[in-house]
Copies of this chain bind each other. A is one copy, B any other.
Amino acid sequence: MAPMTTGTGRSLGVALLGCGVVGSAVVRLLVKQADELAARVGTPLQLRGIAVRRPGRARDLPVSADLFTTDAAALVRRDDVDLVVEVIGGIEPARGLILAALEHGAAVVTANKALLAEDGATLFEAAEKAERDLWFEASVAGAIPILRPLRESLAGDRVRRVLGIVNGTTNFVLDKMSTTGAGFAEALEQAQALGYAEADPTADIEGFDAAAKAAILASLAFHTRVTAADVHREGIAEVSAADVVSAEQMGCVVKLLAICERHELSDGPSVSARVHPAMIPADHPLASVREAYNAVFVESEAAGRLMFYGPGAGGAPTASAVLGDLVTAARNQLSDVRGPGESAHAQLAVLPMGDTVTRYHIAVDVDDRPGVLAAVATEFARHEVSIQTVRQEGRGSDAQLVVVTHPARDAALAATVSGLAHMDMVREVTSVMRVEADSESDSA
């Protein structure tokens, strides 16, 4: 690509890779908002081609059929392509195409969370080498502007913690369980019937999608590299209607959270990223995030508590995020400059899950006889886990004990649960779930 200068009147060429729900919405917005986009960029954006697998497929889009091609590799290397939008998803061919586009001098906008979380470093290095922009706002929390605030608005602050509801499907399922009393399977079926969950919901339900987003959030928030493999991941398939009721009894709701934390330890700072269901107080701002909405809560040293809320998925919302990035990338291409690249200067170690500090809510069915509470309490003490509250409820020959701990190392909490399960007088550990609130109040 020849370098451009402002004011040549030359339009900027856009190549679109993928034309599913998000890609189609991008096309529609590019056409509908063409004049406004041209005014904001400083020159028109021209769609040069759309790479798809089946070019003949009927698509109700306001563009010429000639634009569709199966040859994505050739498209990203065209000399009249200045900007490449990748919304194919997955690792390959997306990675190869993005690398080819950057190498050829195009700026890239992608919504590909899986690729960024697995191998962001390769992309960032390629963008650095090519001196081109790589933007990916749409990869986390759909339309919600969260990556740019982390990358830029909070660049003069130190983020301590990011707590997010970043998967709409699981939030919809948990919200339905909470409002209707449905079990997990029933709520999932409902989500599928309404189009909020896919036929194979594994990526959402098992937390893979949220874990990829957690890796991206942690990397940006803490200026370090965190990959999907660094993220501790638990899904919501094990969450029962009883857990939801238990949460309610202690004034909480159950949410699948992505939690990214910076830890100031004696041997220097480190970070952690984890995705798991957790109970949060009903008056926490994240508790009122309903249905398939997303929200990200950020705690930073100077700014304090911030929250970002909005639609976490869907064609038009995600396309809005893509086009916001596209306008910035286009302005930069026009001036032959680039926006901020990867900021991984902090190079922080990732703390193993066992070393993170959490709180547990544990419900156990025990024999209703003298000495049980003392024995259970001793098991907690043996692992140096301090109990915050305990509630005992007799019901015939057995009783239920519900314990909420103070913050402790996750490994110690897990060992306590395992110890409890092996006690004679414990019939069953019926529910184990972490409890999250604000870092100020619940960190050791």
- Which residues in A have some Cβ–Cβ distance to B below 8 Å? 25, 29, 33, 36-37, 39-40, 137, 143-145, 148-149, 152-158, 223, 285, 288, 300-311, 314, 316-317, 319-328, 331, 335, 337, 340, 343, 345-346
Is B345 a contact partner of A39 (Cβ separation < 8 A)?
Answer: yes
Chain B residues whose C-beta falls within 8 Å of the C-beta of A310 in the assembled complex: 303-307
CA distance A321 to B45 in the complex (A): 32
> Contact: A157 with B306, CB < 8 Å?
no
- Known interface pairs A156-B320, A326-B156, A331-B340. Does A285 touch B309 (Cβ–Cβ under 8 Å)? yes
A324 adjacent to B288 (CB under 8 Å):
no
B311→A345 contact, CB < 8 A: no
On whether the beta carbons of B303 and A143 are closer than 8 Å, the reply is yes
Residues of B within 8 A of A37 (CB): 156
For A311, give its contact among B25, B39, B305 (CB under 8 Å): B305
A155 touches B40 (CB 8 A): yes
A306 touches B154 (CB 8 A): no
Known: A143-B302, A143-B303. 17 other contacts (CB 8 A): A33-B157, A33-B158, A36-B346, A39-B343, A137-B153, A143-B306, A145-B145, A148-B149, A149-B149, A153-B321, A156-B319, A288-B288, A300-B320, A302-B317, A303-B321, A306-B309, A335-B337
Instruction: Report 20 cross-chain contacts, Cβ distance below 8 Å, ordered by A residue.
Output: A33-B157, A37-B156, A39-B343, A40-B155, A143-B304, A145-B149, A149-B149, A152-B327, A156-B325, A157-B324, A285-B288, A285-B309, A303-B311, A303-B321, A304-B310, A304-B317, A305-B311, A306-B309, A309-B309, A328-B340
